[in-house]
A and B are shown apart, each in its own frame.
Chain A
Amino acid sequence: MENGFSSPRSDAFPAGLRVLVVDDDPTWLRILEKMLKKCSYEVTTCGLATDALRLLRERKDVFDIVISDVNMPDMDGFKLLEHVGLEMDLPVIMMSVDGETSRVMKGVQHGACDYLLKPIRMKELKNIWQHVFRKKIHEIKDIENHESIIEGMHLTRNGSDYSDDGHLLSVDDLTSVRKRKDMEKNHDEKDFSDASSAKKARVVWSVDLHQKFVKAVNQIGFDKVGPKKILDLMNVPWLTRENVASHLQKYRLYLSRLQKEKENSGMKHSDASPKDPPGSFGSIHQSDVVNSSYLFSGNSLLPRTVDPSSHEDDLKSIISEPVMEPKRPPVNLPDSHKTKNSQMGFNRSFQPLESEVDFAAFNSGIPTKSYWGEVPDVQFGQEHTPFVHLENGFTKLPLPDPLNHVNADSLQSIPCTAERGISGPTKSKPPCPEYGSNQISDPSPKVSILDPFPQSSKSNIVNHQRALEPIYPCTSSLTTQASCLSCTADIESAQRDVLNLASGSSSTLASFEDDLQVLFQGDSYGDTLGVRNLGFSDYIDAGLINEVPIHLYDSLRFGYEYPCDMTEYAILDQAY
């Protein structure tokens, strides 16, 4: 019976796709099996969710994709979805005869890659290979990213004198960046066979492995975990930091969802309140601007950053990238999982942010929110937020920027501050927790800058000012971060990025370079600098720089706690 459902060639993907179908309805199970077979897929059927889970655990790497009904008597389909996503990292399609938006949304929130409504038609099933393929693409990207980072780390790790190697390093980094860029461009045409390397790298999180992981997390303490620590504790030789980081992210998402379910929506507003630094993204943003302005003035790099238009295209690509790959492993960041979490939040909430209006809306868009609210170490997570973007932003932007001048004069008044900051690098060490306690003290000097941002951001900035009053900007942020984290492995990347920046920009930086070395020694967060600059330029675009240098000046002193998030906002401004 020829009916238009002709099968694809049996020797080519997606033929042979290994599908596990889970449904308690025997009739549907039989129909789906038949349909999938007609698509030339390899089908295994399962009438019980618990059986399916056992099968998946026993026979790792035997399936490419799972299709599961939502309503099953022995186990909720969402729970199965959660387990599969967490342990096997397989794409899962949910199906149900119920198409209520809330149900579908729940499925998507739990990580379903698709949600099919019964009666399911064959043409829908025929198309499911795309989810497997999409996953492969992301894995390739991830690996590319790791490689380039690792490359960079090798280069830097061996040299103790970074300032000498700086230019060389940045060149290397740029090439790998370019490589990745090409890579991304070619994704569409990419032969599926290229995914074989990705396949190798994929870790199947068996129950044992997962339990080891959970044990390590519990041992470290939930608020202090980082992939590196977990990796050390787990002591599994073949596991990489990235594997752990990626899993940790999923784990956090998982927990935050559980949390969310428990609490419903009660948390949303409290998160945005001033006493809750993590919720107030606006302040992060703000302080970051300050950071960058400081940096630039100190470096006489001003001109480079000032012209926003020259960056526009790049910025657009920057922004699109994180949206497309929310799963990208954070690479060399100690708390990468957090990065990823927050990144997801940002992606979702771009719209409200952009309109600069509604913080509540913003919060509700962030899946990890409720979780953050619960965890004492919130700031921690915040600090890392920028990194993924940093990575993206940094690699995408042409470092030597030919166009530069515009608002330079308005910034010129700043250099003095900058110098001060540089000269006293070792001074302040405000431990992160203190920030929370110093709230709302003196918002007046920043008002003009803060205006476009939601309330909470103001108070936060103020916090910073308080805490850092006698402190010079650059140092304070760095020391804070350093005190919060022990992540020596990532130092290099920071320095590399700093150096990149230096080499990419005009040579006037040279005088500043030594200082930077000192500043960033032992601090992986230096790499945020690269993006800070970008953020700054965008921010200037918003016209704020023109307002009053004094504001800028004032704000230069604080806000180091949340270095990079600014870029995201700034980028947003550009892209939308």
Chain B
Amino acid sequence: MEVGQMQRQWLDYTKSLFLEGFLDGQFLQLQQLQDESNPDFVVEVVSLFFEDSEKLLNDLTSALGQQSVDFKRVDAHVHQLKGSSSSIGAQRVKNACIALRNYCEEQNIEGCIGCLQQVKHEYNMVKNKLENLFRLEQQIVAAGGSIPMTELGF
């Protein structure tokens, strides 16, 4: 695949992520922060997000699996995940977190558990999409091209 074609593909894919609501403007901010001194800034930050989110999802799973659920603890974890997902603009994860928090406030264990599945699902989706995006970027760079970031005008 030639570079120009890959670049177009990258553009289309990125746009679709925004259009389908997986990502919001915050991701754009991250892309704008990336510069010569940190050429891998977005990948770096998103990796941090993956790492942190997986830990939080595990914490949430175990907190909701307790005999008597400590909703305060659950809420604290969800809050963190919400903040974390907002950092990279993982919009759908963030929205799922908000729903989970509401169930948590109601102390609705069933609702919480169901919603946690939703959060995990959204998380896996966005993770998958972002990994695809980064793979595409690597291919572009490997082929001697550059990421057409400036063409991402919305």
Chain A interface residues toward B at CB < 8 A: 1, 3, 5, 24-28, 30-31, 34-35, 38, 69, 71, 73, 96-98, 118-119, 121-122
Q: Check A38–B84 contact: CB distance below 8 A.
A: no
**Chain B residue contacts of A26, Cβ below 8 A:** 48, 51-52
Q: Check A121–B83 contact: CB distance below 8 A.
A: no
A515 → chain B closest CB, angstroms: 67
**Chain A residue contacts of B34, Cβ below 8 A:** 1
**Chain A residue contacts of B76, Cβ below 8 A:** 71, 73
Interface of B is mostly: helix
B141 at the binding interface (Cβ < 8 Å)? no
**Chain B residue contacts of A24, Cβ below 8 A:** 80
Q: Check B80–A71 contact: CB distance below 8 A.
A: yes
Q: Check A30–B45 contact: CB distance below 8 A.
A: yes
Bound complex: CA A25 to CA B45 (Å) = 11
Q: Check B84–A1 contact: CB distance below 8 A.
A: no
Stretch of B13-21, B85-93, B105-113, B127-135 lying at the A interface: B85-93
Q: Check B51–A31 contact: CB distance below 8 A.
A: no
Q: Check A119–B32 contact: CB distance below 8 A.
A: no
Bound complex: CA A30 to CA B34 (Å) = 12
Chain B interface residues toward A at CB < 8 A: 25-26, 29-30, 32-35, 38, 41, 44-45, 48-49, 51-52, 76, 79-80, 82-84, 86-89, 149-150
Q: Check A31–B33 contact: CB distance below 8 A.
A: yes
A71 and chain B: residue at smallest CB distance: B79
Q: Check B45–A97 contact: CB distance below 8 A.
A: no
**Chain A residue contacts of B45, Cβ below 8 A:** 27, 30-31
Are A1 and B86 CB-contacts (below 8 A) given A24-B80, A27-B48, A30-B44? no
What would 28 A/B residue contacts be, using CB atoms closer than 8 Å? A1-B32, A1-B35, A1-B149, A1-B150, A3-B32, A5-B32, A24-B80, A25-B84, A26-B48, A26-B51, A27-B88, A28-B87, A30-B44, A31-B30, A31-B87, A34-B33, A35-B33, A69-B83, A71-B79, A71-B83, A97-B82, A97-B83, A97-B86, A118-B83, A118-B86, A119-B26, A119-B87, A121-B29
Q: Check A28–B44 contact: CB distance below 8 A.
A: no
Are A25 and B79 CB-contacts (below 8 A) given A31-B30, A121-B29, A122-B29? no
A7 → chain B closest CB, angstroms: 11
A134 → chain B closest CB, angstroms: 27
Q: Check B33–A38 contact: CB distance below 8 A.
A: yes
B32 and chain A: residue at smallest CB distance: A3
**Chain B residue contacts of A1, Cβ below 8 A:** 32, 34-35, 149-150
Bound complex: CA A1 to CA B48 (Å) = 23
Q: Check A27–B33 contact: CB distance below 8 A.
A: no
B44 → chain A closest CB, angstroms: 7
Interface centre among A35, A97, A122, by most chain B C-beta atoms within 10 angstroms, is A97
Q: Check A34–B41 contact: CB distance below 8 A.
A: yes
Extra contacts besides A35-B33, A71-B80 (18): CB < 8 Å: A1-B150, A24-B80, A25-B84, A27-B52, A27-B87, A28-B83, A28-B87, A30-B48, A31-B45, A34-B38, A38-B35, A96-B83, A97-B82, A98-B79, A119-B25, A119-B89, A121-B29, A122-B29
**Chain B residue contacts of A97, Cβ below 8 A:** 79, 82-83, 86
B55 and chain A: residue at smallest CB distance: A26
**Chain A residue contacts of B83, Cβ below 8 A:** 25, 28, 69, 71, 96-97, 118
Interface centre among B38, B80, B150, by most chain A C-beta atoms within 10 angstroms, is B80
Bound complex: CA A301 to CA B51 (Å) = 77
**Chain A residue contacts of B41, Cβ below 8 A:** 34
**Chain A residue contacts of B51, Cβ below 8 A:** 26
**Chain B residue contacts of A25, Cβ below 8 A:** 52, 80, 83-84, 87
B30 and chain A: residue at smallest CB distance: A31
Q: Check B89–A27 contact: CB distance below 8 A.
A: no
